[in-house]
Each structure stands twice: as C-alpha cells, then as structure tokens.
Structure 1
Amino acid sequence: MESILPWACFLVLVIALVASGGDRRTKLLDRRVQRLERKVDLLLAHVGAEEPEDPRMAEMDELLVRGKTVQAIKLHRELTGSSLLEAKEAVERRMR
C-alpha cells in the first residue's frame, strides 16, 4: 500500500502539468486569433468592405419577430460558433 502512494502522487503531478500546458497553449491561440480578427476588421474598414451576412440571419430575425428569443440565440450560436453570452448579447443588439 505504501508503494502506491508515491506513484499516485507522481500521476497526479503529471496530469496537472499536462493540463496546465494545454491551457497555456489555448490562451496563446485565443490571443493570436483575437489579434488576427482585429487586423481583418481594420482591413475591411480600410477598403470600405463589410463582412457578408449569412442568409440564415434573416431566419434569426424572423424568430425574433415571433418572440422566440431562445431559438434565435441557439441559431446564432450555430451560425457563428459564439458562446452563450456572446450570442445573447448579439441577439439583444439585433432586437434594438
């Protein structure tokens, strides 16, 4: 029983190190994606172009007209891959 404890501690340590390394890489990639998105936005603004809207956004507008906000948020998440909070905020902006 005593010989299992050091191995268990070692295993927990290895798992913690692997998890923290993956989290660090994810944060770095997230920051890089945010920088790239800002650059693309600046380029689009510079040339006076707008990002084309997905035709299914009209479907989302129809859901909002019918008072189906939750379904509109779900659809927004499907179309954009955004988080629940981001989708909720975007749908609320669209309702104005």
Structure 2
Amino acid sequence: MDIDKEVELQVNITARLTKDHEMDVKEYNECQEKLQIATRDNADDYKVVHAERLFQEAANMVTYSRERLQEAVAQLTKMTESSTSMTDVINQTTEKEWYNG
C-alpha cells in the first residue's frame, strides 16, 4: 500500500478514536453527575448501586478509549517519521542525480 494512503488511513483512524474518546468522557461526566444526584437525594439502594455500576463502566471505557487513542497516535507518529525519512532519502538521491547528471 502507498505510504500516503497508509498515513491518510491512520489519520482517519485517529480522528475516529478521538471522537470516541470525547463521547466516552462526556458519558463519564453524565454518569458521575447522576451518581452524585442519586447519593445526594438519598435514592434507594438499587438506584445508587445502578448509578455506581454505570459510572464504573464509563470510567473503564474512558481508560480503554484513551489507550486506543494513544496507540493510534503513536503509530501515526511512527508512520510520519518513517515517511519523512523516506522523503529525505528520495530528495537526497534526486539531488545527487541532478548534480551528477
């Protein structure tokens, strides 16, 4: 696969994972607020336990999506660094051919 297409694909993956992470953080904040309301209003035990479970699941999803996003960014960084290195080699080769030509 062409390196430009690979980089473009990785950029799209990173963008999607960024949106996923933002949504997970939003859900985490909503669950945290619901849990605070349930405990503040002395809701019955079921509602508090349910809110705690949802909050914990949201916290786990934030962690998971952050890790996936970090991996995607690292891979994109690696790809762009290698792409830059390849471009430098091509440019140097072209310059040598031009001077020797």
Q: Given the two structures, how large is their TM-score scaled by the length of structure 2? A: 0.46
Which structure's residues are more often helix, by fraction?
2
Structure number with greater CO (CA < 8 Å, separation at least 6) is 2
Larger Rg: 2
TM-score (norm 1): 0.49
